Amino acid sequence: MDGAIGAWPVRHQAQWGLAALVLQPLLLLLTFVDFARLWPDSADSIVLRVVVGASRILRPGIGRDSPATSAELLREASLSLQGVYITQAWFCARMASWHSVSEAYEAGAKGSEIKAKAHTVGQQLERIVMTTTALPLLILAAYVLVVVFGAPINDRYRASAVLAAYLALLILFPVAHILGTPPSALWTRILAAPQLASPRETLVLVPSLCAVVGTLVGSLALALDWGESWQTYPLPCVYGAVAGLICGNVLAMLLASLQSRARPTPQSEAIQPPSTSARAASDQTKSSTKKNKKAKSQLKTRKPDS
Average pLDDT of span 243-251: 97
| Distance, CA of 43 to CA of 154 (rounded, Å) | 44
Helix axis angle for 157-167 and 235-262, nearest 10°, is: 20
Percent with pLDDT over 90 in the chain: 47
Cβ(96)–Cβ(121) under 8 Å? no
> Lowest-pLDDT range, 10-14, 15-19, 179-183, 222-226?
222-226
Instruction: Tell me the backbone φ, ψ of residue 120, rounded to 5 degrees.
Output: -75, 170
| Distance, CA of 195 to CA of 209 (rounded, Å) | 14
Q: What is the pLDDT of residues 233-246, one digit of tens each?
A: 999 999 999 999 99
Number of Cβ within 10 Å of residue 137's Cβ equals 13
pLDDT at residue 267 in the model: 46
Q: Is the confidence at residue 180, as pLDDT, over 50? A: yes
**Domain range list for the chain:** 5-269
Q: What is the pLDDT of residues 265-279, one digit of tens each?
A: 444 444 445 555 555
Q: What is the pLDDT of residues 64-120, one digit of tens each?
A: 555 667 777 788 888 889 999 999 999 999 999 999 999 999 888 888 888 899 999
pLDDT at residue 263 in the model: 61
If you count them, how many residues does the chain have? 306
Q: Is the confidence at residue 1, as pLDDT, over 60? A: no
Sign of CA dihedral 239, 242, 246, 251: positive
pLDDT at residue 306 in the model: 43
Q: What is the pLDDT of residues 32-62, one digit of tens each?
A: 887 767 776 666 778 878 887 787 778 776 5
pLDDT at residue 283 in the model: 61
Q: Which three-class secondary structure string do you get for the chain? A: CCCCHHHCCHHHHHHHHHHHHHHHHHHHHHHHCCHHHHCCCHHHCHHHHHHHHHHHHHCCCCCCCCCCCHHHHHHHHHHCHHHHHHHHHHHHHHHHHHHHHHHHHHCCCCCHHHHHHCCCHHHHHHHHHHHHHCHHHHHHHHHHHHHHCCCCCCCCHHHHHHHHHHHHHHHHHHHHHHHCCCCCHHHHHHHHCHHHCCHHHHHHHHHHHHHHHHHHHHHHHHHCCCCCHHHCCCHHHHHHHHHHHHHHHHHHHHHHHHHHHHCCCHHHHHCCCCCHHHHHHHHHHHHHHHHHHHHHHHHHHHCCCC
